[in-house]
Amino acid sequence: MKERSDSLVLKGLIAAQSRLSSHHSMLPVLAAKQSSIEAGIGGEERVAELFRRYTFSFKNNIFHDLSLSSDSTFQIDHTFLTPSFGILFETKNIAGSLEFKDDPPQLIQTKENGERKAYESPVVQLERNLELLASWLQARNITLPLFGAIVLAYPKQIVTVPPANTKLLFPNMIPPFINSLPQNSKKLDSETFHWLCHELLRCHRPYIPKPISESYHIPVGDFQPGVRCLDCGKIGMIKLPRTWHCPYCGVNNNKAHVPTMLEWFLACNRTITNRECREWLHVDIHTATRILQGMDLKKIGTFRNRVYVMDFRQFK
């Protein structure tokens, strides 16, 4: 029922790197973060692909990358829902040998070169998501047994010590695991099941990361301003009446400022003022006003102190 949304975290990291000078000290840090996020997305895609290929013999719906809020906000990689139960899958894509420690909970990775690295245990994350989804359901007067499992997206991941009380699966073990769960407990009637599935979609809120400048303490001034050409990727489109022109590839595009504004919100700041907009897009005050007012941004404050905020709901 729901595919994975575009990762705004990834978009922000890519935008930020492309606007920093080639010798900026934070580039390696951002690049490393980008690879780890891409590996995670790759793993989630493998699991999603398995669900696309496999057909179950009973009614079910699958939600990828669901973000909900209960006592706090939480994000579930894959949610498999039937009228009899729900299953949360937490996908991990960490190479090498993996050791799941329970006390204190930790995931220890040993790479091929012998280097060891500790991560927050996915068991903790899964348990927390199970509790939060249970209370989300309870708030809607729905009782449904919930199960959880950790999926290792790639079979090359070697487990030396599995978690004591949590199911650990490779993708091809997911269908037999689901089929092994009891079907005949008190089921939701089909109207309630239908309502619940739509309620999950209705309540989904995309995860909006902090701007890169804030997360990595990079001054906004370090990011190169200018409108990016969507055709050749170069920064420096020129404003012409009613359109933007790329001096590198010659293309014209009247909407080119929109993704560049999104880059501002992901890399620099959650809000933008008229002055910042002028400097970011290289336009005059009147063009900046027209652009800011034409973009469906939320306005905060009046006249002189007005700032604009991106409404990220369009990325649902």
Q: Do 245 and 282 meet the contact criterion of CB atoms below 8 Å apart?
A: no
Could you give the residue ranges of the DSSP H alpha helices within the chain?
8-18, 27-53, 122-138, 174-180, 190-203, 212-215, 257-267, 274-281, 285-294
Q: Which of 249, 293, 299, 300 binds Zn ion (CB under 5 A)?
A: 249
- Binding status of residue 14 toward Zn ion by CB under 5 A: no
The smaller minimum CB distance to Zn ion, of residues 151 and 229, is found at: 229
Task: Write down how long the chain is.
Answer: 316
- Binding status of residue 54 toward Zn ion by CB under 5 A: no
The smaller minimum CB distance to Zn ion, of residues 133 and 229, is found at: 229
Residue from 212, 188, 204 nearest 315 by CA: 204
Q: Which two tokens stand for residue 142?
A: 């729905």
Dihedral, CA atoms, 98, 126, 90, 121, nearest 10 degrees?
-20
239-276 exposure pattern, b = at least 16 Cβ within 10 A, e = fewer: beeeebbbeeeeeebeebbeebbbbbbbbbbebbbbeb
The smaller minimum CB distance to Zn ion, of residues 212 and 281, is found at: 281
- Which residues inside 176-205 make contact with Zn ion, applying CB under 5 A? none
- Binding status of residue 240 toward Zn ion by CB under 5 A: no
Q: Which two tokens stand for residue 139?
A: 């708030």
The smaller minimum CB distance to Zn ion, of residues 102 and 231, is found at: 231
- Binding status of residue 238 toward Zn ion by CB under 5 A: no
- Binding status of residue 248 toward Zn ion by CB under 5 A: yes
Amino acid at 227: V
Candidates 143-151, 166-174, 187-195, 247-255 — which segment interacts with Zn ion by CB under 5 A? 247-255
Helix (H, G, I), strand (E, B) or coil at 164: coil
- Binding status of residue 102 toward Zn ion by CB under 5 A: no
- Binding status of residue 277 toward Zn ion by CB under 5 A: no
Candidates 211-219, 243-251, 256-264, 270-278 — which segment interacts with Zn ion by CB under 5 A? 243-251
Helix (H, G, I), strand (E, B) or coil at 89: strand
The smaller minimum CB distance to Zn ion, of residues 152 and 246, is found at: 246
Size of the site for Zn ion (CB under 5 A): 6
- Binding status of residue 227 toward Zn ion by CB under 5 A: no
The smaller minimum CB distance to Zn ion, of residues 238 and 300, is found at: 238
- Binding status of residue 18 toward Zn ion by CB under 5 A: no
Q: How buried is residue 44: exposed, middle or buried, by Cβ count under 10 Å (0-12/13-18/19+)?
A: buried
* Minimum CB distance to Zn ion, residue 250 (Å): 7
Candidates 88-96, 132-140, 223-231, 308-316 — which segment interacts with Zn ion by CB under 5 A? 223-231
Footprint on this chain of Zn ion (rule: CB under 5 A): 229, 231-232, 246, 248-249
